[in-house]
Protein backbone atom coordinates (compact mmCIF):
# COMPACT_ATOMS: atom_id res chain seq x y z
CA UNK A 1 0.00 0.00 0.00
CA UNK A 2 1.25 3.52 -0.82
CA UNK A 3 1.39 6.52 1.45
CA UNK A 4 -1.93 7.29 3.11
CA UNK A 5 -4.03 9.84 1.32
CA UNK A 6 -4.90 12.99 3.16
CA UNK A 7 -8.03 15.05 3.54
CA UNK A 8 -8.37 18.74 4.32
CA UNK A 9 -8.25 20.04 7.87
CA UNK A 10 -10.83 22.40 9.29
CA UNK A 11 -9.61 25.94 8.69
CA UNK A 12 -8.38 27.69 11.83
CA UNK A 13 -9.18 31.37 12.40
CA UNK A 14 -7.03 32.32 15.40
CA UNK A 15 -4.29 29.76 16.00
CA UNK A 16 -1.67 29.20 13.23
CA UNK A 17 -2.97 26.82 10.55
CA UNK A 18 0.43 25.21 9.97
CA UNK A 19 0.31 23.55 13.39
CA UNK A 20 -2.47 21.23 12.25
CA UNK A 21 -1.54 18.96 9.41
CA UNK A 22 -4.30 17.28 7.48
CA UNK A 23 -5.36 14.09 9.23
CA UNK A 24 -4.38 10.81 7.61
CA UNK A 25 -6.85 9.38 5.15
CA UNK A 26 -9.02 6.77 6.81
CA UNK A 27 -6.59 4.22 8.30
CA UNK A 28 -6.59 0.60 7.26
CA UNK A 29 -7.10 -1.19 10.54
CA UNK A 30 -6.87 -4.54 8.77
CA UNK A 31 -5.16 -5.61 5.57
CA UNK A 32 -7.81 -5.53 2.83
CA UNK A 33 -8.81 -8.97 1.56
CA UNK A 34 -8.19 -9.52 -2.15
CA UNK A 35 -10.60 -12.01 -3.68
CA UNK A 36 -9.77 -14.05 -6.81
CA UNK A 37 -11.43 -12.95 -10.07
CA UNK A 38 -14.83 -14.48 -10.68
CA UNK A 39 -15.35 -17.04 -13.42
CA UNK A 40 -17.60 -14.88 -15.60
CA UNK A 41 -17.08 -14.36 -19.34
CA UNK A 42 -15.24 -11.13 -20.13
CA UNK A 43 -15.57 -11.28 -23.93
CA UNK A 44 -17.31 -7.88 -23.94
CA UNK A 45 -14.06 -6.36 -22.58
CA UNK A 46 -12.02 -7.57 -25.60
CA UNK A 47 -11.85 -4.75 -28.12
CA UNK A 48 -9.85 -6.06 -31.10
CA UNK A 49 -11.01 -8.71 -33.62
CA UNK A 50 -7.99 -10.98 -33.15
CA UNK A 51 -8.60 -11.07 -29.43
CA UNK A 52 -12.24 -11.98 -29.92
CA UNK A 53 -11.34 -14.75 -32.41
CA UNK A 54 -8.78 -16.15 -30.00
CA UNK A 55 -11.26 -16.07 -27.11
CA UNK A 56 -13.95 -17.82 -29.20
CA UNK A 57 -11.52 -20.50 -30.42
CA UNK A 58 -10.50 -21.33 -26.85
CA UNK A 59 -13.77 -20.96 -25.00
CA UNK A 60 -16.80 -21.21 -27.27
CA UNK A 61 -17.17 -24.98 -27.92
CA UNK A 62 -20.50 -26.65 -27.38
CA UNK A 63 -21.91 -23.91 -25.10
CA UNK A 64 -25.26 -24.35 -23.40
CA UNK A 65 -27.96 -21.71 -23.95
CA UNK A 66 -27.13 -20.19 -20.55
CA UNK A 67 -23.41 -20.00 -21.35
CA UNK A 68 -24.06 -18.48 -24.76
CA UNK A 69 -26.35 -15.88 -23.17
CA UNK A 70 -23.67 -15.07 -20.61
CA UNK A 71 -21.23 -14.25 -23.40
CA UNK A 72 -23.74 -11.85 -24.94
CA UNK A 73 -24.39 -9.94 -21.69
CA UNK A 74 -22.23 -7.33 -20.01
CA UNK A 75 -20.07 -8.30 -17.06
CA UNK A 76 -22.28 -6.32 -14.67
CA UNK A 77 -25.37 -8.10 -15.96
CA UNK A 78 -23.76 -11.52 -15.46
CA UNK A 79 -22.83 -10.64 -11.88
CA UNK A 80 -26.31 -9.34 -11.11
CA UNK A 81 -27.96 -12.44 -12.61
CA UNK A 82 -25.69 -14.70 -10.57
CA UNK A 83 -26.52 -12.80 -7.36
CA UNK A 84 -30.23 -13.26 -7.99
CA UNK A 85 -29.86 -16.94 -8.90
CA UNK A 86 -28.09 -17.59 -5.61
CA UNK A 87 -30.69 -15.65 -3.67
CA UNK A 88 -28.56 -12.62 -2.75
CA UNK A 89 -31.32 -10.09 -3.36
CA UNK A 90 -29.97 -7.59 -0.82
CA UNK A 91 -26.50 -7.72 -2.42
CA UNK A 92 -28.08 -7.16 -5.83
CA UNK A 93 -29.92 -4.11 -4.52
CA UNK A 94 -26.81 -2.75 -2.80
CA UNK A 95 -24.70 -3.16 -5.95
CA UNK A 96 -27.25 -1.18 -7.94
CA UNK A 97 -27.29 1.52 -5.25
CA UNK A 98 -23.50 1.81 -5.35
CA UNK A 99 -23.48 2.04 -9.16
CA UNK A 100 -26.18 4.73 -9.08
CA UNK A 101 -24.32 6.73 -6.42
CA UNK A 102 -21.05 6.42 -8.34
CA UNK A 103 -22.70 7.65 -11.56
CA UNK A 104 -24.28 10.55 -9.66
CA UNK A 105 -20.86 11.55 -8.30
CA UNK A 106 -19.45 11.45 -11.81
CA UNK A 107 -22.24 13.61 -13.20
CA UNK A 108 -21.94 16.09 -10.35
CA UNK A 109 -18.17 16.40 -10.88
CA UNK A 110 -18.70 17.05 -14.59
CA UNK A 111 -16.39 16.87 -17.63
CA UNK A 112 -12.75 17.48 -16.91
CA UNK A 113 -12.88 16.05 -13.40
CA UNK A 114 -10.71 13.10 -12.38
CA UNK A 115 -13.69 10.79 -11.90
CA UNK A 116 -15.12 11.80 -15.29
CA UNK A 117 -11.97 10.59 -17.03
CA UNK A 118 -12.22 7.15 -15.46
CA UNK A 119 -14.20 4.16 -16.67
CA UNK A 120 -17.62 3.84 -15.11
CA UNK A 121 -18.03 1.39 -12.25
CA UNK A 122 -19.87 -0.99 -14.60
CA UNK A 123 -16.75 -1.13 -16.80
CA UNK A 124 -14.35 -2.02 -13.98
CA UNK A 125 -14.56 -5.83 -13.79
CA UNK A 126 -11.94 -6.21 -11.06
CA UNK A 127 -13.84 -3.83 -8.79
CA UNK A 128 -17.12 -5.57 -9.64
CA UNK A 129 -15.49 -8.87 -8.62
CA UNK A 130 -14.57 -7.36 -5.26
CA UNK A 131 -18.04 -5.93 -4.70
CA UNK A 132 -19.71 -9.24 -5.63
CA UNK A 133 -17.42 -11.15 -3.27
CA UNK A 134 -17.81 -8.92 -0.20
CA UNK A 135 -21.48 -7.97 -0.63
CA UNK A 136 -22.63 -11.57 -0.94
CA UNK A 137 -20.51 -12.69 2.01
CA UNK A 138 -21.82 -9.84 4.14
CA UNK A 139 -25.38 -10.87 3.30
CA UNK A 140 -24.66 -14.55 4.06
CA UNK A 141 -23.06 -13.60 7.39
CA UNK A 142 -26.04 -11.41 8.27
CA UNK A 143 -28.42 -14.31 7.67
CA UNK A 144 -26.28 -16.49 9.92
CA UNK A 145 -26.20 -13.81 12.65
CA UNK A 146 -22.44 -13.34 12.47
CA UNK A 147 -22.13 -9.56 12.92
CA UNK A 148 -18.31 -9.64 13.04
CA UNK A 149 -18.17 -11.12 9.54
CA UNK A 150 -20.78 -8.66 8.31
CA UNK A 151 -18.64 -5.77 9.59
CA UNK A 152 -15.41 -7.14 8.07
CA UNK A 153 -17.00 -7.58 4.66
CA UNK A 154 -18.66 -4.16 4.77
CA UNK A 155 -15.28 -2.66 5.64
CA UNK A 156 -13.71 -4.36 2.63
CA UNK A 157 -16.46 -2.94 0.43
CA UNK A 158 -15.55 0.54 1.75
CA UNK A 159 -11.88 -0.13 0.93
CA UNK A 160 -12.92 -0.61 -2.71
CA UNK A 161 -13.63 3.15 -2.88
CA UNK A 162 -10.29 4.57 -1.82
CA UNK A 163 -9.94 7.52 -4.21
CA UNK A 164 -10.75 11.04 -2.96
CA UNK A 165 -13.37 11.47 -5.69
CA UNK A 166 -15.26 8.47 -4.26
CA UNK A 167 -15.29 9.70 -0.64
CA UNK A 168 -19.08 10.07 -0.50
CA UNK A 169 -19.48 6.39 -1.37
CA UNK A 170 -16.79 5.49 1.15
CA UNK A 171 -18.52 7.55 3.86
CA UNK A 172 -21.85 5.89 3.08
CA UNK A 173 -20.24 2.48 3.58
CA UNK A 174 -18.42 3.51 6.78
CA UNK A 175 -21.76 4.56 8.23
CA UNK A 176 -23.06 1.04 7.51
CA UNK A 177 -19.99 -0.36 9.28
CA UNK A 178 -20.68 1.89 12.28
CA UNK A 179 -24.28 0.63 12.55
CA UNK A 180 -23.13 -2.99 12.33
CA UNK A 181 -20.38 -2.43 14.93
CA UNK A 182 -22.97 -1.50 17.56
CA UNK A 183 -24.32 -5.09 17.35
CA UNK A 184 -20.92 -6.71 18.09
CA UNK A 185 -20.32 -7.67 21.73
CA UNK A 186 -17.70 -10.42 21.44
CA UNK A 187 -14.47 -8.72 20.28
CA UNK A 188 -13.74 -6.47 23.26
CA UNK A 189 -14.88 -3.36 21.38
CA UNK A 190 -12.25 -3.56 18.65
CA UNK A 191 -14.63 -3.11 15.72
CA UNK A 192 -16.57 -0.39 17.54
CA UNK A 193 -13.27 1.44 18.01
CA UNK A 194 -12.52 1.19 14.28
CA UNK A 195 -16.00 2.46 13.42
CA UNK A 196 -15.71 5.45 15.78
CA UNK A 197 -12.34 6.38 14.25
CA UNK A 198 -13.83 6.38 10.75
CA UNK A 199 -16.89 8.36 11.84
CA UNK A 200 -14.66 10.89 13.60
CA UNK A 201 -12.67 11.47 10.42
CA UNK A 202 -15.85 11.82 8.37
CA UNK A 203 -17.26 14.44 10.74
CA UNK A 204 -13.96 16.31 10.94
CA UNK A 205 -13.74 16.32 7.16
CA UNK A 206 -17.24 17.83 7.02
CA UNK A 207 -16.39 20.49 9.61
CA UNK A 208 -18.48 18.99 12.45
CA UNK A 209 -15.74 19.37 15.07
CA UNK A 210 -17.84 18.68 18.18
CA UNK A 211 -19.32 15.53 16.65
CA UNK A 212 -15.85 14.39 15.58
CA UNK A 213 -14.58 14.93 19.14
CA UNK A 214 -17.33 12.65 20.51
CA UNK A 215 -16.32 9.83 18.16
CA UNK A 216 -12.60 10.27 18.88
CA UNK A 217 -13.23 10.22 22.64
CA UNK A 218 -15.18 6.98 22.24
CA UNK A 219 -12.33 5.63 20.10
CA UNK A 220 -9.84 6.53 22.84
CA UNK A 221 -11.89 4.98 25.66
CA UNK A 222 -12.36 1.73 23.73
CA UNK A 223 -8.62 1.40 23.03
CA UNK A 224 -7.22 2.24 26.48
CA UNK A 225 -5.01 -0.63 27.62
CA UNK A 226 -5.34 -2.49 24.32
CA UNK A 227 -2.46 -3.68 22.10
CA UNK A 228 -4.41 -3.49 18.84
CA UNK A 229 -2.41 -2.12 15.90
CA UNK A 230 -3.30 -0.86 12.44
CA UNK A 231 -1.57 -2.13 9.31
CA UNK A 232 1.27 0.40 9.72
CA UNK A 233 2.12 -0.91 13.20
CA UNK A 234 0.68 2.05 15.15
CA UNK A 235 -1.42 1.15 18.16
CA UNK A 236 -5.07 2.13 18.06
CA UNK A 237 -4.60 4.08 21.29
CA UNK A 238 -1.73 6.21 19.93
CA UNK A 239 -3.87 6.94 16.86
CA UNK A 240 -6.75 7.96 19.14
CA UNK A 241 -4.39 10.28 21.05
CA UNK A 242 -3.29 11.91 17.80
CA UNK A 243 -6.88 12.45 16.66
CA UNK A 244 -7.92 13.89 20.03
CA UNK A 245 -4.85 16.16 20.15
CA UNK A 246 -5.76 17.57 16.73
CA UNK A 247 -9.48 17.96 17.42
CA UNK A 248 -8.86 19.65 20.79
CA UNK A 249 -6.69 22.27 19.06
CA UNK A 250 -9.43 22.82 16.48
CA UNK A 251 -12.01 23.15 19.27
CA UNK A 252 -9.78 25.63 21.12
CA UNK A 253 -9.52 27.71 17.96
CA UNK A 254 -13.32 27.88 17.69
CA UNK A 255 -13.52 28.85 21.37
CA UNK A 256 -11.02 31.67 20.80
CA UNK A 257 -13.08 32.84 17.84
CA UNK A 258 -16.00 33.16 20.29
CA UNK A 259 -13.77 34.90 22.91
CA UNK A 260 -13.99 31.87 25.25
CA UNK A 261 -10.36 32.03 26.36
CA UNK A 262 -10.66 30.09 29.61
CA UNK A 263 -12.45 27.22 27.85
CA UNK A 264 -9.74 27.25 25.18
CA UNK A 265 -7.07 26.97 27.88
CA UNK A 266 -8.78 23.93 29.44
CA UNK A 267 -9.13 22.29 26.02
CA UNK A 268 -5.47 22.85 25.11
CA UNK A 269 -4.37 21.37 28.44
CA UNK A 270 -6.32 18.26 27.37
CA UNK A 271 -4.47 18.36 24.03
CA UNK A 272 -1.12 18.38 25.88
CA UNK A 273 -2.29 15.44 27.99
CA UNK A 274 -3.20 13.48 24.85
CA UNK A 275 0.20 14.22 23.30
CA UNK A 276 1.96 12.96 26.43
CA UNK A 277 -0.22 9.85 26.59
CA UNK A 278 0.53 9.10 22.95
CA UNK A 279 4.25 9.66 23.56
CA UNK A 280 4.59 12.25 20.78
CA UNK A 281 6.94 15.11 21.75
CA UNK A 282 6.26 17.03 18.53
CA UNK A 283 2.55 17.18 19.31
CA UNK A 284 3.31 18.12 22.91
CA UNK A 285 5.49 21.02 21.78
CA UNK A 286 2.86 22.30 19.34
CA UNK A 287 0.07 22.09 21.93
CA UNK A 288 2.25 23.94 24.47
CA UNK A 289 2.94 26.64 21.87
CA UNK A 290 -0.81 27.05 21.24
CA UNK A 291 -1.49 27.23 24.97
CA UNK A 292 1.12 29.97 25.38
CA UNK A 293 -0.61 32.02 22.67
CA UNK A 294 -3.95 31.74 24.46
CA UNK A 295 -2.42 32.85 27.76
CA UNK A 296 -0.94 35.83 25.88
CA UNK A 297 -4.36 36.67 24.42
CA UNK A 298 -5.76 36.48 27.97
CA UNK A 299 -3.13 38.96 29.18
CA UNK A 300 -1.18 36.40 31.23
CA UNK A 301 2.19 37.03 29.61
CA UNK A 302 4.29 35.60 32.44
CA UNK A 303 2.55 32.23 32.12
CA UNK A 304 2.75 32.46 28.33
CA UNK A 305 6.53 32.98 28.42
CA UNK A 306 6.99 30.08 30.84
CA UNK A 307 5.06 27.70 28.57
CA UNK A 308 6.88 29.01 25.50
CA UNK A 309 10.14 28.13 27.22
CA UNK A 310 8.89 24.54 27.60
CA UNK A 311 7.93 24.50 23.93
CA UNK A 312 11.37 25.81 22.93
CA UNK A 313 13.10 23.04 24.91
CA UNK A 314 11.01 20.39 23.15
CA UNK A 315 11.63 21.83 19.66
CA UNK A 316 15.34 22.20 20.39
CA UNK A 317 15.58 18.53 21.38
CA UNK A 318 13.72 17.57 18.19
CA UNK A 319 15.82 19.91 15.98
CA UNK A 320 12.50 21.27 14.74
CA UNK A 321 13.34 24.49 12.86
CA UNK A 322 9.73 25.45 12.10
CA UNK A 323 8.67 24.97 15.72
CA UNK A 324 11.65 26.93 17.03
CA UNK A 325 10.91 29.83 14.71
CA UNK A 326 7.28 30.05 15.86
CA UNK A 327 8.16 29.78 19.55
CA UNK A 328 10.98 32.36 19.49
CA UNK A 329 8.91 34.69 17.32
CA UNK A 330 6.08 34.53 19.87
CA UNK A 331 8.56 35.17 22.70
CA UNK A 332 9.93 38.16 20.81
CA UNK A 333 6.47 39.67 20.27
CA UNK A 334 5.51 39.30 23.94
CA UNK A 335 8.76 40.82 25.24
CA UNK A 336 8.72 43.70 22.74
CA UNK A 337 5.08 44.44 23.61
CA UNK A 338 6.26 44.78 27.24
CA UNK A 339 9.05 47.13 26.18
CA UNK A 340 11.74 44.53 26.96
CA UNK A 341 13.63 44.86 23.69
CA UNK A 342 17.05 44.09 25.20
CA UNK A 343 15.70 40.90 26.78
CA UNK A 344 14.14 39.90 23.47
CA UNK A 345 17.46 40.37 21.69
CA UNK A 346 19.16 38.22 24.34
CA UNK A 347 16.63 35.41 23.71
CA UNK A 348 17.12 35.66 19.94
CA UNK A 349 20.92 35.66 20.24
CA UNK A 350 20.53 32.49 22.30
CA UNK A 351 18.31 31.07 19.52
CA UNK A 352 21.01 31.90 16.95
CA UNK A 353 23.71 30.25 19.05
CA UNK A 354 21.63 27.08 19.62
CA UNK A 355 20.85 26.87 15.89
CA UNK A 356 24.52 27.27 14.93
CA UNK A 357 25.62 24.59 17.41
CA UNK A 358 22.98 22.19 16.06
CA UNK A 359 23.80 23.02 12.40
CA UNK A 360 20.21 24.11 11.78
CA UNK A 361 20.79 26.49 8.87
CA UNK A 362 17.08 27.34 8.56
CA UNK A 363 16.96 28.30 12.23
CA UNK A 364 20.12 30.42 11.88
CA UNK A 365 18.38 32.31 9.08
CA UNK A 366 15.21 32.69 11.17
CA UNK A 367 17.14 33.99 14.19
CA UNK A 368 19.13 36.51 12.14
CA UNK A 369 16.00 37.78 10.39
CA UNK A 370 14.15 38.20 13.70
CA UNK A 371 17.09 40.13 15.20
CA UNK A 372 17.49 42.18 12.02
CA UNK A 373 13.80 43.09 12.09
CA UNK A 374 14.11 44.44 15.65
CA UNK A 375 17.06 46.66 14.72
CA UNK A 376 15.39 47.72 11.47
CA UNK A 377 12.17 48.72 13.26
CA UNK A 378 14.20 50.87 15.69
CA UNK A 379 16.22 52.67 13.03
CA UNK A 380 19.52 50.92 13.65
CA UNK A 381 20.00 50.09 9.97
CA UNK A 382 23.69 49.21 10.26
CA UNK A 383 22.96 46.42 12.74
CA UNK A 384 19.89 45.36 10.76
CA UNK A 385 22.00 45.06 7.61
CA UNK A 386 24.64 43.11 9.55
CA UNK A 387 22.16 40.46 10.68
CA UNK A 388 20.28 40.32 7.36
CA UNK A 389 23.65 39.73 5.67
CA UNK A 390 24.35 36.87 8.08
CA UNK A 391 20.92 35.45 7.24
CA UNK A 392 21.73 35.67 3.53
CA UNK A 393 25.06 33.89 4.02
CA UNK A 394 23.39 31.11 6.04
CA UNK A 395 20.71 30.73 3.34
CA UNK A 396 23.40 30.46 0.66
CA UNK A 397 25.14 27.75 2.68
CA UNK A 398 21.93 25.71 2.74
CA UNK A 399 21.64 25.93 -1.08
CA UNK A 400 18.05 27.09 -0.67
CA UNK A 401 17.49 29.51 -3.58
CA UNK A 402 14.07 30.65 -2.39
CA UNK A 403 15.39 31.39 1.10
CA UNK A 404 18.45 33.16 -0.33
CA UNK A 405 16.23 35.41 -2.44
CA UNK A 406 14.04 36.18 0.57
CA UNK A 407 17.01 37.18 2.73
CA UNK A 408 18.46 39.17 -0.19
CA UNK A 409 15.26 41.20 -0.09
CA UNK A 410 15.74 41.88 3.63
CA UNK A 411 19.25 43.14 2.85
CA UNK A 412 17.84 45.43 0.18
CA UNK A 413 15.25 46.81 2.60
CA UNK A 414 17.88 47.60 5.25
CA UNK A 415 20.18 49.23 2.66
CA UNK A 416 17.29 51.31 1.32
CA UNK A 417 16.42 52.48 4.83
CA UNK A 418 20.07 53.29 5.46
CA UNK A 419 20.28 55.26 2.21
CA UNK A 420 17.10 57.17 3.02
CA UNK A 421 18.72 58.64 6.13
CA UNK A 422 21.43 60.34 4.05
CA UNK A 423 19.05 61.11 1.20
CA UNK A 424 16.65 62.86 3.56
CA UNK A 425 19.50 64.79 5.19
CA UNK A 426 20.51 66.18 1.77
CA UNK A 427 16.88 67.09 1.05
CA UNK A 428 16.58 68.83 4.41
CA UNK A 429 19.86 70.76 3.88
CA UNK A 430 18.40 72.73 0.94
CA UNK A 431 21.82 73.87 -0.31
CA UNK A 432 23.40 73.67 -3.79
CA UNK A 433 26.05 71.13 -2.79
CA UNK A 434 23.45 68.69 -1.44
CA UNK A 435 21.35 69.19 -4.56
CA UNK A 436 24.35 68.36 -6.75
CA UNK A 437 24.98 65.20 -4.73
CA UNK A 438 21.40 64.09 -5.23
CA UNK A 439 21.37 64.89 -8.95
CA UNK A 440 24.67 63.08 -9.49
CA UNK A 441 23.47 60.05 -7.55
CA UNK A 442 20.24 59.97 -9.56
CA UNK A 443 22.27 60.05 -12.79
CA UNK A 444 25.04 57.65 -11.87
CA UNK A 445 23.76 55.46 -9.02
CA UNK A 446 25.45 52.11 -9.20
CA UNK A 447 26.46 49.56 -6.65
CA UNK A 448 29.81 49.27 -8.41
CA UNK A 449 30.87 52.60 -6.87
CA UNK A 450 31.69 52.78 -3.22
CA UNK A 451 29.55 55.89 -2.84
CA UNK A 452 26.27 56.12 -4.78
CA UNK A 453 26.25 59.91 -4.16
CA UNK A 454 29.57 60.46 -5.96
CA UNK A 455 29.65 63.71 -7.92
CA UNK A 456 32.28 65.69 -9.82
CA UNK A 457 32.15 68.92 -7.88
CA UNK A 458 35.09 70.69 -9.54
CA UNK A 459 35.85 68.34 -12.41
CA UNK A 460 38.75 66.71 -10.54
CA UNK A 461 36.92 63.90 -8.74
CA UNK A 462 36.07 60.78 -10.70
CA UNK A 463 32.40 59.59 -10.48
CA UNK A 464 33.57 56.35 -8.98
CA UNK A 465 35.85 57.89 -6.36
CA UNK A 466 34.40 58.70 -2.96
CA UNK A 467 34.07 62.38 -2.04
CA UNK A 468 35.37 63.63 1.29
CA UNK A 469 32.11 62.89 3.09
CA UNK A 470 31.38 59.45 4.51
CA UNK A 471 29.47 57.07 2.23
CA UNK A 472 25.76 56.83 3.13
CA UNK A 473 25.72 53.10 2.57
CA UNK A 474 28.40 50.53 2.03
CA UNK A 475 27.97 47.99 -0.72
CA UNK A 476 27.32 44.40 0.14
CA UNK A 477 29.56 41.76 -1.40
CA UNK A 478 28.89 41.45 -5.12
CA UNK A 479 26.78 38.31 -4.70
CA UNK A 480 24.50 40.20 -2.33
CA UNK A 481 23.93 43.27 -4.47
CA UNK A 482 20.38 44.17 -5.46
CA UNK A 483 19.92 45.66 -8.90
CA UNK A 484 18.55 49.16 -8.31
CA UNK A 485 18.92 50.30 -11.90
What sign does the dihedral 460-466-468-471 (CA atoms) show? positive
CB count in 10 Å sphere of residue 478: 8
CB count in 10 Å sphere of residue 438: 17
Q: Could you give the dihedral angle defined by the CA atoms of residues 427, 430, 432 and 436, in that order, rounded to the nearest 10 degrees?
A: 0
Give the separation between CA 344 and CA 331, rounded to whole angstroms.
7
Give the separation between CA 431 and CA 159, rounded to whole angstroms.
81
* Secondary structure of 224-272 in HEC code, one letter for each residue: CCCCCECCCCCEHHHHHHHHHHHHHHHHHHHHHHCCCHHHHHHHHHHHH
The three-class DSSP label of residue 24 is strand
pLDDT of 80 > 80? The answer is yes
Q: Contact 28/1 with Cβ under 8 angstroms? A: yes
pLDDT band at 31 (very low <50, low <70, confident <90, very high): low
Residue 110 has φ and ψ, to the nearest 5°, of: 80, 170
Q: Could you give the dihedral angle defined by the CA atoms of residues 197, 96, 184 and 223, in that order, rounded to the nearest 10 degrees?
A: -10
- CA dist list (Å): 17 to 47, 186, 213, 327: 51, 41, 19, 15
Give the separation between CA 357 and CA 371, rounded to whole angstroms.
18
pLDDT of 229 > 50? The answer is yes
Least confident of 5-19, 20-34, 169-183, 287-301: 20-34
Higher pLDDT, 291 or 434: 291
pLDDT number for residue 435: 80
pLDDT number for residue 133: 94
pLDDT number for residue 194: 96
Cα of 233 vs its chain's centroid, Å: 22
Of 25-34, 37-46, 113-122, the range with the highest mean pLDDT is 113-122
pLDDT of 3 > 70? The answer is no
The three-class DSSP label of residue 475 is coil
Best CA proximity match to 476, nearest among 404, 422, 427: 404
For the chain, helix, strand, coil in percent to 5 are: 70, 0, 30
pLDDT number for residue 147: 96
Give the separation between CA 336 and CA 321, rounded to whole angstroms.
22
Best CA proximity match to 252, nearest among 298, 310, 195, 206: 298
pLDDT number for residue 323: 95
pLDDT digits (tens, 9 = 90+) for 391-430: 999 999 888 899 999 999 999 999 999 888 888 887 888 8
pTM of the model: 0.80
Cα Rg of the chain (Å, integer): 34
pLDDT band at 437 (very low <50, low <70, confident <90, very high): confident
Q: What angle do CA 267, 269, 270 make, to 5 degrees?
A: 65
Give the separation between CA 40 and CA 262, rounded to whole angstroms.
64
In DSSP notation, 36-93 reads: PPP----GGG--SHHHHHHHHHHH-SS--HHHHHHHHS-HHHHHHHHHHHTT-HHHHH
Who contacts 313 (Cβ-Cβ below 8 Å, separation ≥6)?
A: none
Give the separation between CA 311 and CA 324, rounded to whole angstroms.
8
pLDDT band at 35 (very low <50, low <70, confident <90, very high): low
DSSP 479: G
pLDDT > 90 fraction of the chain, expressed in percent and rounded: 63
Amino acid sequence: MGAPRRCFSVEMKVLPQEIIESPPWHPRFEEPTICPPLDFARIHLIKDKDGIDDYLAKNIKGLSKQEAAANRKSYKENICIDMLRQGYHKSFSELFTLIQKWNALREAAGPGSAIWQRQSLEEQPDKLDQLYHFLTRAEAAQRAGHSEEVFDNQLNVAYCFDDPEEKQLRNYLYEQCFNTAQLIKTDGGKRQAQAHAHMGLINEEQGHVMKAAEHYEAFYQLTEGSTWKDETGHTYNSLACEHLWRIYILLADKMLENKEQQQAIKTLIKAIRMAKTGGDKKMEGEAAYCLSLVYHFAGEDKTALSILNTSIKIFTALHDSAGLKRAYEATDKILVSQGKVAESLTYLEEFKKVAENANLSQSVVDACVLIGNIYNARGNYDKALEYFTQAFEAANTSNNLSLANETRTYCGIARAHKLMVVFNSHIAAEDPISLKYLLAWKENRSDVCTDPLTVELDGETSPCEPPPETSPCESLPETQILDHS
